[in-house]
Structure 1
């Protein structure tokens, strides 16, 4: 079976090595081939909600969709700006299976984190959003990478792997 290709796009100025650090976990745990885009999107001022001082995920994802090419099944942006969706104070990331796009931010994962811990947190949240793009839902198992995180400590509890039920569901979805 051919692996789906996930296009990774830098949005703003996240840590420069982050995209490279995502390739192995995406391949190992979700069976995705990750490709870093040559296109780098600047800080998404078009998505800024000034009253919240945050950036709307959907606006960023609409821009990311325009970068999809026939060789790419999915696109996911990695950014350093603080993200929101209307009904939440903030989100670490968001994914829309319909448009095949998602975005993850390091902004709320960064405070107090060493470079290694930040890398691991971003990996976990990228795996979560990529899992949603593949059709997985949130999981109740706090150790599963598909568990919804509300705090950086929740992210720290996650393993960089799917629990058995989520792994089985992914196999069903990939048939």
Structure 2
């Protein structure tokens, strides 16, 4: 008997262009075998997560809110936002995932820098697959071309492929057993 397909709920947080949520569905499905559903509920700009000293939004506060949107049938949730994100030990993050709570958030704020529509779409797809990969249990990869490589700049993101390297693909297969 095959396992039921895991379902990733995609949620708009703030004001990302609605079309961009649809743009990540196919790569996530293709690369990770996850079904995706775009939530009918959109969250407003997460003012509760704003840190005025940093001028950024705290990932964990947003992810705690995202978890509340999970419904039966959804395995995990990924929020896509337009606000600049941080975690305490880092100047910024493109996104963050928490395997325990099955929630992740991804920001367009830094992906937009120096990007036209096509490049922004590609960056968003790469980072969405990356965060969803973490939700499935994948760790960071050493291969700078692998989608699971830890991108710390737009250049890192642009170097990555949308796909998993062989090591990460094998790891995903093990996790899915």
TM-score bin (small chain): over 0.9
Q: Which residue among 26, 36, 39 is the counterpart of 2:38?
A: 36
Residue correspondences, number? 175
Distance 1:146 1:41 in 2: 27
The ranges of structure 1 where at least 4 consecutive aligned residues each deviate by more than 4 angstroms after the TM superposition are none
Q: TM-score, normalised by structure 2?
A: 0.98
Q: TM-score, normalised by structure 1?
A: 0.99
* Unaligned ranges ≥5, structure 2: none
Deviation at 1:70, TM superposition (A): 1.1
Q: 1:149 corresponds to which residue?
A: 151
Distance 2:5 2:149 in 1: 24
Deviation at 1:3, TM superposition (A): 1.4
Q: 1:48 corresponds to which residue?
A: 50
Q: 1:38-96 CA deviation, whole Å, 9 max, x = no partner?
A: 00000000000001000000000000000001110000100000000000000000000
Q: 1:101-121 CA deviation, whole Å, 9 max, x = no partner?
A: 000000001011001100110
Deviation at 1:20, TM superposition (A): 0.6
CA RMSD, Structure 1 to Structure 2 (Å)? 0.6
Distance 2:76 2:153 in 1: 26
Q: 1:4-51 CA deviation, whole Å, 9 max, x = no partner?
A: 000000000112211111111011000000100000000000000001
Instruction: Kindly report which structure 2 residues correspond to 1:156-171, keeping only aligned pairs within 5 A, or say none.
Output: 156-171=158-173
